[in-house]
Amino acid sequence: MDDGEQLVGIGDIAFQLKITRQAVDYWTRKDAKFPEPLQVINAPAGSGAKGTRVWRKREVDAWIVEHYRRRKQ
């Protein structure tokens, strides 16, 4: 599987950027330019659980280059 097909979650993104999962979670929910999750997994039907959101790695990497890196400059 190439990088374009790899999936990442909040923990993976946080590890990559060396920041907290809470910061990543905030961006995924509040930044309109952050990619939409590809899918929500591990959310049992009718349980009210939110599940785990996953994204395509290539889409998150593009957001990092375009938006996150600019914030740090």
Residue range 5-70 in CATH 1.10.1660.10: yes
pLDDT at position 47:
64
The predicted pLDDT at position 45 comes to 72
pLDDT at 3: 53
Angle between helices 10-17 and 21-30 (to 10 degrees): 110
Residue 43 has pLDDT above 80, yes or no: no
For residue 27, list its beta bridge partners: none
For residue 42, the model assigns a pLDDT of 85
Q: What is the pLDDT of residue 72?
A: 57
For residue range 2-38, list pLDDT tens digits in order.
555 899 999 999 999 999 999 999 999 999 999 999 9
